[in-house]
């Protein structure tokens, strides 16, 4: 398998085929070429097209879709702002790195690296971003070669724990922003509702968060609280906060 291949993927039909329980089992379903590509770091790949980067790009989107659907099914009463924050927690680089470790993907990368690059592979295998990239590249490869049902099963199994605890992150945006500013010795932030659109039963609220008189984030939501959380999330993102 190469990134420029024109062959069509052969998805597993609904209701048939294997149902891997995690990303390690999904990786095992791949043919040797696809498995090698999913584990090829750009450092030793012949070029970027023959590294895992394209599969990582696809896997990031696939992971987001599967997690989004799962969260909507698990939390039918949550609004968009809450679901967005929960998804960010589940698909964060930290969460993907933890999943990659649990599934043995860093070691699989080391084992598949050229012998002359094993020392480099061992060093890279400890990097959080590399671990996260491996999780996403295996998901991307699985989507192309093992099919949607198998990939969905593997993702839901591998990310079961962060999915189960995603609701705990809903309140974190405002709390984390306040804690971060307090640690820097700064005053408490304040929130303002800056607008409202739609009917009373289907309204969208707009909010901003201010540090002193300066706006540091703005966001929207289906409730005032959701809009304030979105503003806090925007502020954290602007400050370099990671899910």
For 81-123, write each residue's pLDDT tens digit. 788 889 988 999 999 999 999 999 999 999 999 999 999 999 9
Share of the chain above pLDDT 70, in %: 91
**Domain total in the chain:** 2
Residue 52 domain-assigned?
yes
Q: For 220, which DSSP code?
A: E
Residue 229 domain-assigned?
yes
Residue 4 domain-assigned?
no
Domain, as residue range, for 226: 172-238
Nearest to 229 by CA among 84, 90, 93: 84
Q: Do 63 and 163 reside in the same domain of the chain?
A: yes
Residue 17 domain-assigned?
no
Structure tokens at 117: 């690059």
Q: Do 144 and 196 reside in the same domain of the chain?
A: no
Residue that finishes a domain, picked among 139, 169, 199 = 169
Question: Taking the model in full, what pTM does it have?
Answer: 0.68
Give the residue with greater pLDDT, 159 vs 221. 159
Residue that finishes a domain, picked among 146, 169, 192 = 169
At residue 208, what are phi and psi to the nearest 5 degrees?
-140, 155
Q: Do 68 and 148 reside in the same domain of the chain?
A: yes
* pLDDT on residue 203: 86
Determine the Cα–Cα distance for residues 231 and 215; give it in Å rounded to an integer: 10
Determine the Cα–Cα distance for residues 133 and 52; give it in Å rounded to an integer: 8
Determine the Cα–Cα distance for residues 61 and 140; give it in Å rounded to an integer: 8
Q: Do 177 and 195 reside in the same domain of the chain?
A: yes
Per DSSP, what are the bridge partners of residue 219? 207
* pLDDT on residue 171: 59
Structure tokens at 137: 């590249």
Residue 210 domain-assigned?
yes
Instruction: Give the chain's mean pLDDT.
Output: 87
CA atoms within 13 A on the CB side of 204: 7
Q: Do 196 and 216 reside in the same domain of the chain?
A: yes
Q: Do 158 and 57 reside in the same domain of the chain?
A: yes
From 7-16, 36-45, 198-207, 210-219, the region with the lowest mean pLDDT = 7-16
pLDDT band at 16 (very low <50, low <70, confident <90, very high): low
Residue that finishes a domain, picked among 114, 149, 169 = 169
CA atoms within 13 A on the CB side of 55: 32
* pLDDT on residue 141: 98
Q: Do 152 and 204 reside in the same domain of the chain?
A: no
Determine the Cα–Cα distance for residues 203 and 158; give it in Å rounded to an integer: 37
Q: Do 129 and 31 reside in the same domain of the chain?
A: yes
Catalytic annotation, residues = 60, 136
Residue 9 domain-assigned?
no
Residue 37 domain-assigned?
yes
Determine the Cα–Cα distance for residues 172 and 130; give it in Å rounded to an integer: 26
Q: Do 61 and 101 reside in the same domain of the chain?
A: yes
SS3 at position 211: strand
Per the CB < 8 A criterion, the answer to whether 37 and 55 are in contact is yes
Q: Do 44 and 140 reside in the same domain of the chain?
A: yes
């Amino acid at each position: 398998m190469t990134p420029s291949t024109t062959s069509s993927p052969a998805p597993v039909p609904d209701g048939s085929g294997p149902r891997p329980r995690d990303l390690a089992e999904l990786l095992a379903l791949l043919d040797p070429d696809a498995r090698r590509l999913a584990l090829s770091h750009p450092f030793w790949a012949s070029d970027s097209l023959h590294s895992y980067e394209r599969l990582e790009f696809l896997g990031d989107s696939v992971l987001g879709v599967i997690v989004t659907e799962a969260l909507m099914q698990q939390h039918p009463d949550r609004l968009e702002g809450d679901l967005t924050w929960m998804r960010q927690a589940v698909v964060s680089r930290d969460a993907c790195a933890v999943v990659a470790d649990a599934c043995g993907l860093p070691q699989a990368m080391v084992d598949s690296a050229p012998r002359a690059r094993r020392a480099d592979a061992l060093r890279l295998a400890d990097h959080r971003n590399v671990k996260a990239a491996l999780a996403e590249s295996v998901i991307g490869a699985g989507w192309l070669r093992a099919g949607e049902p198998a990939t969905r099963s593997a993702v839901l199994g591998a990310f079961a724990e962060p999915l189960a605890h995603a609701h705990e992150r809903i309140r974190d945006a405002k709390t984390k922003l306040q804690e971060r500013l307090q640690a820097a010795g700064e005053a408490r932030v304040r929130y303002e509702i800056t607008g409202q659109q739609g009917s009373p039963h289907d309204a969208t609220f707009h909010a901003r968060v201010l540090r002193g008189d300066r706006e540091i984030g703005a966001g929207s939501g289906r409730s005032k609280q959701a809009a304030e959380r979105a503003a806090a999330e925007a502020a954290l993102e602007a400050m370099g906060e990671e899910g």
